[in-house]
Amino acid sequence: MKIIKALLLPYISIGVGLYCLKGGWLAILFYHAGMVLFLILDKKRPPFRQMFRGWHKTWAWLIPLCGLGGISIYLLWPWMQQQLDLDTMLTKYGLSGWKWTAFLIYYSLGHPPLEEFYWRGYLGHKSKKVRIEDLAFGGYHFFTMICFVGWPWALLSCTILTGTAWLWRQIVRETGGLLVPVLTHIVADISVIWMVNALL
């Protein structure tokens, strides 16, 4: 039951914060506060030092590769966008002016390490097969993306991120640490959010 609640956390946070309250900041803060709460209350959480372990040159090529996500969105945006322009959609969720600037910085640097510690550390598993954790991670992004792009693109993003979740989990299984997933996740999120900013 605890694992199910942990997997449902982003869905509830997005449902309440983004869909009910129309707040981008509220959605991510609910999500992050929930993750921190799970990690504090569960004594079986992994040691924090795992964040800085697991470097392996075999996986180093993934770091620049993850920057292609944002570039792809930038190039494909004319086909991905909905009827409303991006600035209007972000403003709808309270992400304009200084709030958007603060979100850019917070999402780029605070979001990726916390997600990796939660999903690949706390909820991590050593199985080589695709697991519910991978599906849940990819799946929640669908409900975020669908607010901004058409459903085929949101579904494609969901599929790619499910595969990425599986790959990050395999890297942790092989290296014993979260460092490579954290670094690649940071590069991916910076690429995506700053390319979105460039589209405004």
Check residue 54 and give its pLDDT: 95
* Confidence (pLDDT) at 178: 97
The pLDDT of residue 2 is 79
Residue 142 in 3-state DSSP?
helix
Q: What is the rounded CA–CA span in Å between residue 186 and residue 169?
A: 16
| Structural Rg of the chain based on CA atoms | 16
Give which of 177, 191, 171 is closest to 107, Cα–Cα: 191
Q: CA-to-CA distance for 195 and 43, rounded, in angstroms?
A: 39
**Residue among 118, 161, 90 at smallest CA distance from 9:** 118
Can you tell me which residue has the tokens 């990819």? 138
How would you write the pLDDT of the chain (200 residues) with one tens digit per residue?
A: 778 999 999 999 999 999 999 999 999 999 999 999 999 999 888 999 999 999 988 898 999 999 999 999 999 999 998 877 899 999 999 999 999 999 999 999 999 999 999 999 999 999 999 999 999 999 999 999 999 999 999 999 999 999 999 999 999 999 999 999 999 999 999 999 999 999 99
Q: Which tokens is 144 given?
A: 């975020």
The alpha carbon of 199 is separated from its chain's Cα centroid by a whole number of angstroms, namely 20
Three-state SS at 3 = helix
Residue-range domain boundaries for the chain: 50-199
The amino acid at residue 73 is I
What pTM did the predictor assign?
0.95
| Cα angle value 30/35/41 (rounded, 5°) | 120
